[in-house]
Amino acid sequence: MTSIICYMKIVVPLTFLLTCLGSGFALAQAPQKSPQSGAPTGTYAPYVDARKDVSSWQTPVQTPPFTLRLETNGTYVAKTTQGVPTMDGDLVRVLPEVARGTWRWDVEKREFRLEPGDFKFYIKRLPVDTQHTNRLVWGQSWLVREADK
């Protein structure tokens, strides 16, 4: 009888303590949803209609003017595809213009808010197209996710 009482006094509280610690540990390990979760990240480029000027074989292949990479960690890199003349000592190099910053996902408006957003092209607010979720509205056109081109 005494051994049962000792067992109840030691094992039951110890089991309760371990159960509480285990569930608390599991809660601490549960993934936390970030404000960026659900945002359609990836690499985007302005939509280029390949059907334009296809009648002439001399027409150069159209390339988008820039690419925008929205990282899952809340940062972005925007880079022009055409270079900008830049002095490098005695040489003039043609280098792409590059902008870096952070983005925030507005869940209610379903749009990216980019900061600082200082770039040759306006990219401060980019809402998701309501009809095609692989596109971001960019002025009168779109930015299309590269994997979906």
The residue ranking higher by pLDDT, 57 or 103, is 103
In terms of residue numbers, what domain contains 131?
42-148
Do 70 and 11 belong together in one domain? no
pLDDT tier for residue 63 given thresholds of 50, 70 and 90: confident
pTM of the model: 0.67
Segment 15-19 shows an average pLDDT of: 49
What is the count of structural domains for the chain?
Answer: 2
CA–CA distance, 120 with 146 (Å, rounded to integer) = 21
pLDDT band with cut points at 50, 70 and 90 for residue 18? very low
Residue 147 has pLDDT above 80, yes or no: no
| Average pLDDT in the chain | 78
Q: What is the pLDDT of residue 40?
A: 94
C-alpha dist (Å) from residue 94 to 80, 86, 130: 11, 6, 38
48 and 7 within one domain: no
How many whole angstroms separate alpha carbon 86 and alpha carbon 88? 6
Residues 13 and 49 in one domain: no
Q: The domain that contains 50 carries what CATH number?
A: 2.40.128
The upper half-sphere exposure of residue 133, i.e. CA atoms within 13 Å in the direction of its Cβ, equals 5
Output 47 or 4, whichever has higher pLDDT. Answer: 47
Distance CA 74, CA 86 (A): 29
Among the residue ranges 7-21, 56-70, 81-95, the one predicted with the least confidence is 7-21
